[in-house]
Structure 1
Amino acid sequence: MFTSQGPTVRELAAQALSSVERGYDLLSPKFDQTPFRTPDRMLDAVEETLAQREGSFGSGLDVCCGTGAGLGMLLRLCRGRVTGVDLSAGMLAEAARAYPDERVDLVRADARALPPGPADPYDLAVSFGAFGHFLPAERPALFSGVHAALRPGGLFAFPIGAPITPASAAWWAVTGFDAAMRVRNAVWRPPFVMYYRTFPLGGVRADLRAAGFTVETVPLDHFGRRPDGTPRWRLVLARRATGAPVGRAEDE
């Protein structure tokens, strides 16, 4: 929830009527006091799962790093350098203040056109809470850029929630939000792209495979299971192929 140190209604309105880049520049000083920041509980669950399954990594990349919520996790998981990429200069400035570690590099760039990485490609890429800013047609460019930034065998990991149904109050909330954003973008410029229901696992899996990844998911049982026994959250593990033909990976 918002805290007393968070943005005011007027500040949120100014953000909503701006472009994505300008909106986050405006919000950045108070972003960590909003519910939009990835919760530490999610970061801890992803870190624990990656550490148990993969051990440690060489270098790491945080795609759309924002104020740096995922950078601390990468610093613990990775032995080498860690890079955060974001479109907003304001968000990167907050990340720089939060993580003055000499192993951290921060790069301002559009995730749909990632700049060339270091001479040694990354071993691990992660992303948290940013995919609503990309329309489905933009996913192939996003995933292809991450694929190019990883070494063969490198891993792209991110959490994804289970589908919600119309029987849930959350379904009506996110559907209403997405509808309001579509109306806003139809009548106001510049657009502010942020939708909650444009990143389904099936389409995401297909786009990742088309970009050259093998894909599996593992349950994040830290968040429990739904009444039908399926996990509320999964961790997507998309691995850049090592040279063999891309095949079908079974989901757990």
Structure 2
Amino acid sequence: MFTPQGPTLRELAAQALSSVEHGYDLLAPKFDHTPFRTPDSVLDAVGGALRPMGPFESGLDLCCGTGAGMDVLAMLCDESVTGVDISAGMLAVGRERLRADGPPSGIGERGPSVAWVRGDARALPFGPAFDLVVSFGAFGHFLPRELPGLFAQVHSVLRPGGRFVFPITAPPRPSSPWYWALLGFDAVMRVRNALWRPPFVMYYRAFRLGDVQRELAWAGFAVELRALPEFGYRRDGSPRCRMVVATRGGGATPV
């Protein structure tokens, strides 16, 4: 939950009434003290599951924010690690954090180079330069109709055989308080966006595994699901959290 160093209710309200880009510029100095940052347990689980699949040469953290996923890539990539995000404020905090805290283990004298790039994930400013693309906690900012274009962009920046990897959690059951909390949050956001401009796109229940698999396949990926056993299993035996591994084939990106 929020820590004393996190944003005030007034600051959160100002963010929620802004655009996604400006809202995160406002939140950036306190973002790492909020529950919106991906937990270390998820980052560590994905990093551990990816390690046997590497090493990789060049990695991209899509919608990198303040760079939590960059630390994961630094442990996996030999040559370069790049973060791309639409928010200049989030990128600035990430750069400053790296300067203040020093590089994570894996980024050293002989470790990968690091770059922070301001850009829109729907129009990535790269060619096919990466072996690995990861993303953590960003997909709620994209409407379902934007997924085909988003995944085509990721496909276009991966080298043949490159992988697009991200965690996805199982949706809560209707008997869970979290089900109703997320339902209520999405309903509030829809009302807010119907009444206020600019819109702030953040919907927790819109990123569904079946839709994601279909759109990834359409974009030219071979899709594999891997359980992250650290988070346990539901009563029906299905994992509470999976890692999606989408591998680019040798063909061109669909247009």
TM-score normalised by structure 1 residue count: 0.93
| 1:198 and 2:197 correspond | no
Structure 2 unmatched ranges of 5 or more: 104-111
Give the match for residue 74 of structure 1.
Answer: 73
Give matches, 1:139-158, under 5 Å: 139-158=147-166
Counterpart secondary structure, 1:80: strand
Q: Which residue of 2 aligns with 1:22?
A: 22
Runs of 4+ in 1 over 4 A off after TM superposition: none
* Overall identity of the aligned pairs, in %: 64
Distance in 1 separating the partners of 2:56 and 2:20:
32
Which residue pairs with 1:2 in the alignment? 2
Q: What letter is aligned with 1:135?
A: L
Please provide the CA RMSD for this pair.
Answer: 1.5
Question: Counterpart in 2 of 1:179?
Answer: 187
Tell me the alpha carbon deviations over residues 216-245 of structure 1, each in whole angstroms, 9 at most, x when there is no partner. Answer: 10000010111111100000000001349x
Aligned-pair CA distance for 1:99: 2.5
Residue equivalent to 2:129: 121
Shift of 1:60: 0.1
CA distance in 1, matches of 2:13, 2:181: 18
Residues 73, 81 of structure 2: 8 Å contact kept: yes
Question: Which sits farther off after the overlay, 30-39 or 164-173?
Answer: 164-173
Structure 2 residue identity aligned to 1:103: S
- Displacement after TM superposition at 1:158 (Å): 0.1
What is aligned with 1:91?
90
Gaps in structure 1 of 5+ consecutive residues: 245-252
The equivalent of 1:49 in structure 2 is: 49
> Counterpart amino acid of 2:27?
L
For 2:186, the aligned partner's letter is D
Superimposed CA distance per residue, residues 158-180 of structure 1 (whole angstroms, 9 cap, x where no aligned partner): 00011222111110000000000
TM-score (norm 2): 0.92
Instruction: State the aligned residue count.
Output: 242
| Equivalent residues in 2 for 1:103-118, closer than 5 Å | 103-117=113-127
The CA distance in 2 between the partners of 1:165 and 1:106, in whole Å, is: 38
Q: Tell me what 1:160 maps to.
A: 168
1:248 alignment partner in structure 2: none
Q: Report the secondary structure of 2:164's partner residue.
A: strand
Determine the C-alpha separation between the residues in 2 that align with 1:103 and 1:12.
Answer: 34
Give the drift of 1:147.
0.4
Amino acid in structure 2 at the alignment position of 1:153: G
**Alignment-mate amino acid for residue 185 of structure 1:** N
Listed as ranges, the matches of 1:29-40 within 5 Å are 29-40=29-40
Determine if contact 2:220/2:251 at 8 Å carries over to the other structure.
no
CA distance in 1, matches of 2:3, 2:151: 35
CA distance in 2, matches of 1:228, 1:158: 23
Letter in 2 for 1:217: L
- Counterpart residue number, 1:189: 197
